[in-house]
Chains A and B, each alone.
Chain A
Amino acid sequence: MRLAFVWDSRRCIGCMACVIACASANHPELLREAKPNPQWNWLGGNIRVVVRDVGGRPVLRLVSCQHCDNPPCVHACPTGASYIDERTGFVRLDPSKCVGCKACVVACPYGARWLHPVTMLPEKCPGPFCSEIKKAVCAEVCPAGARLVGDLDDPESPVNEVLRKYKTERMLEHLGTEPKWFIITG
């Protein structure tokens, strides 16, 4: 199984439901104290919002772990704490092996990892609540139908359906990271 995320940039209206729901479900202990995620100076969740002017108007990108098939964070990890979960294809962290060296944080070209200000563990998607309910909260809450999670190895999966149907791109693909996080652009 190789689970992948799809984000439909044509549909996303930037309502922030996924961003806030991810933080609220996965890291309420940070928000109640209004402690920022120090990496991004942002709320303690796994989705970062990037808005840049491109071609004369603001363009939005939602950035979280890309679940690379060739993940720099896994390669950089000296202890094997960062690994690809063979059952899901997701990049995960085994905290029992983490020595807090932050190599994964530095290695990730997407800046998708952030240090929990209390535990100092390098947090990332999927968060603990999503893992527990076995659902991606971001996809569940999206009002615009702009988010999808599914198995790339299953030809019948809705993810493969949309990948066949639409033009997609992956962020920083040229780095050879083989991200499993697709953006529908047209």
Chain B
Amino acid sequence: MKTSRRDFIKISTIAALALLGAKSYDLVVSRRLSESLLLEEAPVAGVKFVKTFGGMCGALCGIQVGVDGNGRPRVVFPIKEHPQKGLCGRCASAPWLWDNPLRLKKPMVRVGERGEGKFREVDWDTALNSIASKLKEIVDKYGYKAIAITHHDAWTYYMSLFSYLFGTSNVISHVGMCHAAGTVARGHVFSAGGPPSIDPDYENASFLLLVSRTLSTASMGAVHRAMTNERLEIVVVDPRMPEVGFANVKWIPIIPGTDAAFALSIIYVLLEEGLYNADFLKKYSNAPFLIKPDGKPLTEADIVEGGDARKYIVFDAKDKKLKDHREAVDPDLWYVGEATLKDGTKIEVKTALTLLKERASKYKPEEAERITGIKAGDIRWVARKLALKNGVVHDTWYISRNGNDYDDVRALLIINALLGNIDKPGGLCFQESARFPSVITVKTVEGKRVAETVYGATMPEELFGDVTQPRVDRAKYKLTPAQFDAVLDAILEEKPYPVKALFVIGTSPLMRDMNTRKVIEAYKKLELLVVIDILPTDDAGYADYVLPDTIFLERDEMTSTKWTLHAVVQKQSKVVDPPEGFDVRDALWIMFEIARRAFPERAKALGWDDKYANYKAYEEEFLHKLDDSIISRLAATWKIDKEKLEKALEEEGYYVLKRKEYYVRPYKTALGTPSGKVEIYSLAALGAGLDPLPDYIPPPAYTLPRAPNEFYLVNGKGPLTSVHASLMEPMKFVGDRSVWMNPRDAERLGIRDGDMIELESIDMGLKAMARVKVTEGVREGVLFTYSTMWGRISKLLPEGHFAMEGINPNLFAKGYVIPIVGGGASNSSVRVRKL
């Protein structure tokens, strides 16, 4: 047998790599060079594909993972028929996560000062017992409410279970730094929830306006539907060009923090030029409601003795009478006139739409151009396109940026209402609910409340602990879906009560939350900080205990499919076991085991038997019972055969429970808003002490840049954004750790592409260094950098790790929270100096 040059090289390489202690270089060995590409499809010898869903971010796209003969994940493909098929750079790098040298392998206890990064590996029993003992001490002194848990996407389903397990209401997610303001706005206008409870119907849309939203972050299913829709025209409005701008997309740069002025200007053009859907507004919105001079709606209670305050009055153009909106034949959208109150007083009333137009008139395109930097002609063009092409405006997602974002989203949602393109093909649609069973629900049995888990365990009211106490964030921001900044306040100021123990599960407040310095101060004041994660985040460096979690490839899980309008359930199948030497555990097991040791009666009530301390028993019995209960519940809810559902989840990875049914809300089913209609004039906002109409206010979250060397520092997400994925090796090359600067700014300041600059926060005085990328992808006067990726400070990372380069924009964000709404703000302003 002849030895070819390549064979020789292979042999030498293998020997060299073996010397280097490398683990798997089978690829070099197994090359079959005699075969050519694409003659016919054939599975590669030994590579098996397992259908699952991606866990590199919260989108959970339908993927299949190819595992080679050595049991190593090698490649990730989409599941082609999946309703949310696709993957981006994050899931493409999942094969590196499995045996990544950075992965947390064993429980660790801190031995140095907080943040010093000195830890000692311990066994699970030692770690769990110590944590349990400290927790008991804290609870004895301060109550269960002194425990807080924060998380992002991993293990989200179980968070309400953890709340009962630890007797605390303080389970507070990342949402305050993501979509909180948008979610409150969605609730106020459409009584919808977080994204994507409403979402554009990408595959049928003809014109899509994305304001401060990039499709290239998460939801690759949405990307597929949008990009393969040949009729779809997309316009992006953003201070920087998001990656979706690489496609055939019109990008309009906007001055940061002025989205509301842009949206209100669009509203003005639609109303002024008669480009609104009058029929929709009359029947399905509160546009014709008459509003009193005090801003409150005129109701039957105002005009008739003993009248009903829930009967909102409109002017019926048919018989020229004031009447209940449900009885009017032709509600006048533009009525302005007198109404006589029950005591005989006459007041002037105007329709909600009239008030909206008065508000929007402050932002005629020429005025909006001055505020937003977008040409008046472009504003009119977008407005007319939206109307003439029956367009749709995206309801936004990551929006916690400038402190005025609630009004941005409300105004954008109102544009959709004016177009009347709601729950129709190609419009802004309500997602069909998968009616996925909650892991825990509270019932009343014989006058007493009982918490019941999906798998049938019950906890009596006596064991609720502080679950019913007000959450620290809602005590401060009553409408917020979540605002972690209030947890920091509770740690630092002990108001409304002290928080002393914090669990950080699969997330990184140091990267995620604004004002990094405040997070560090709070961490230092805690009595117990436990980080459960897969990689050494910055937060792990400050923890008392670091507990290694499993990765999504190593576990079974079920969930509803997130980014589709259909009701779909999907299954994550275990692709691989943890690599040898990785003593990792599911966070679910970890939390139960801490509770079993600290509060045995709580764990027991929630169905945790002592035998589950054995991890194998947990995997084989507890998880089996849990999965079986969820499937049984889904099968019963949807009246489908359980075996059929199980088989589909096993073989296909997903099951479509119900396809999207259009023209339901608000047409056949009333909305959950106070009026039951789409509210262009938000009665819920009014009730909460907020302006019922959106308005533009200059960004309150930071001092506006003024001097020639001062800039807005804006941040955003991209297809690689993830606290975890950004530590994978491919990101060393593909990840952009620079700060973007417009070429005209660069020329003015004598800065060239690749130069190092110093950024100094105008509000905080902090300084950091970064490399500049000179690009037309950001508008003049603005700097851009990716969020939650770079500028790492963890001492658990190897010295000089590439993720330490670049900046964490939250370092400069001073920590502004929108009152009542509770949305945070991650943008800031900085001075620039060339180094």
Contact = CB atoms under 8 A, between A and B. Distances in A.
B470 interface: no
Interface residues of B, number: 75
B223 A144 contact: yes
B245 interface: yes
Contact of B78 (A36, A99, A134, A141): A141
Contacts of A118: 13, 16-17, 28
A13 B92 contact: no
B9 A32 contact: no
A87 B96 contact: no
B93 interface: yes
Contacts of A34: 729, 732
Contacts of A141: 76-78, 87, 92
Nearest to B43: A133
Contact of B776 (A53, A94, A143, A146): A53
Interface string A71-98: 0000000000000010110101011101
A87 B732 CA distance: 37
Q: Chain A CB within 10 Å — which of B4, B227, B720 has the most?
A: B227
B25 interface: yes
Nearest to A90: B37
Contacts of A49: 734
Interface of B: 4-6, 9-10, 13, 16-17, 20, 22-25, 27-28, 30-33, 35-45, 47, 61, 66, 74-78, 85-89, 91-93, 95-96, 215-216, 220-221, 223-224, 227-228, 241, 243-248, 251, 719-720, 729-730, 732-734, 743, 775-777
A118 B18 CA distance: 13
Contacts of A68: none
Contacts of B86: 17, 143
Contact of B77 (A29, A56, A140): A140
Q: Chain A CB within 10 Å — which of B38, B78, B248 has the most?
A: B38
Interface of A: 1, 3, 9-21, 23-29, 31-34, 36, 41-43, 49, 51, 53, 56-60, 85, 87-88, 90, 92, 94-96, 98-99, 118-121, 126, 128-137, 140-141, 143-146, 149, 186
B824 to A, nearest CB: 27
Q: Chain A CB within 10 Å — which of B66, B88, B215 has the most?
A: B88
Given A57-B251, A130-B37, A15 B42 contact: no
Given A17-B91, A43-B734, A24 B22 contact: no
B223 A15 contact: yes
A17 B88 contact: yes
Given A17-B88, A118-B16, A131-B35, A28 B27 contact: yes
Nearest to B85: A143
Nearest to B94: A24
A133 B32 CA distance: 10
A116 B32 CA distance: 17
A137 B74 CA distance: 11
20 contacts: A11-B227, A15-B220, A16-B719, A17-B87, A25-B75, A28-B74, A29-B25, A43-B729, A43-B733, A88-B36, A118-B16, A119-B28, A126-B37, A129-B74, A133-B43, A134-B39, A143-B223, A143-B227, A144-B228, A149-B38
A129 B76 CA distance: 13
Contacts of B228: 11, 144-145
Given A12-B247, A56-B776, A119-B9, A32 B37 contact: no
B89 A19 contact: yes
Contact of A21 (B4, B9, B36, B92): B92
Given A11-B227, A14-B243, A16-B89, A3 B38 contact: yes
Nearest to A92: B36
Contacts of B37: 3, 88, 90, 126, 130-131, 134-136
Interface residues of A: mostly helix, strand, loop or mixed?
loop
Contacts of B216: 13-15
A157 B784 CA distance: 43
A160 to B, nearest CB: 15
B534 to A, nearest CB: 17
A130 B720 CA distance: 24
Contacts of A144: 223-224, 227-228, 247
Q: Chain B CB within 10 Å — which of A9, A25, A41, A87 has the most?
A: A25
Given A14-B719, A126-B37, A24 B247 contact: no
A141 B95 CA distance: 14
Nearest to B45: A132
Nearest to A25: B75
A131 B33 contact: yes
B36 A87 contact: yes
B63 to A, nearest CB: 9
Contacts of B221: 143
A94 B33 CA distance: 8
A67 to B, nearest CB: 10
A120 B16 CA distance: 14
A22 to B, nearest CB: 9
A106 to B, nearest CB: 20
Nearest to B732: A34
Given A95-B5, A131-B36, A135-B38, A32 B22 contact: yes
A51 B521 CA distance: 41
Given A21-B92, A129-B74, A87 B44 contact: no
Given A19-B730, A43-B729, 12 more contacts: A9-B247, A15-B88, A17-B87, A21-B75, A36-B733, A57-B245, A99-B5, A129-B27, A131-B31, A133-B42, A134-B42, A145-B224
Contacts of B9: 95, 119-121
A10 B248 contact: yes
B792 to A, nearest CB: 16
Contacts of B215: 13
A98 B5 contact: yes
Contacts of B720: 16
Contacts of B733: 36, 41-43
Q: Chain A CB within 10 Å — which of B4, B30, B45, B75 has the most?
A: B75
A135 B246 contact: no
A79 to B, nearest CB: 10
Contact of A23 (B13, B30, B730): B730
Q: Chain B CB within 10 Å — which of A1, A20, A135 has the most?
A: A20
A17 B89 contact: yes
Contacts of A149: 38
Contacts of B732: 34, 43
A149 B228 CA distance: 17
Q: Chain B CB within 10 Å — which of A12, A42, A136 has the most?
A: A12
A67 B91 CA distance: 28
A31 B719 contact: no
8 tightest A-B CB contacts, nearest first? A143-B86, A16-B89, A95-B6, A10-B248, A15-B719, A143-B220, A20-B92, A144-B227
B33 A13 contact: no
Contacts of B96: 24, 28, 31-32
A132 B44 contact: yes
A34 B728 CA distance: 9
A84 to B, nearest CB: 11
A96 B725 CA distance: 38
Contacts of B245: 57-58
A29 B17 contact: yes
B729 A32 contact: yes
Contacts of B223: 13, 15, 143-144
Given A12-B246, A28-B95, A129-B44, A57 B241 contact: yes
Q: Chain B CB within 10 Å — which of A9, A14, A41, A85 has the most?
A: A14
Contacts of B743: 53
A24 B93 contact: yes
Contacts of A129: 27, 44, 74-75
Nearest to B725: A20
Contacts of A140: 77-78
B75 A128 contact: no
Given A134-B37, A134-B38, A146 B227 contact: yes
A89 B530 CA distance: 58
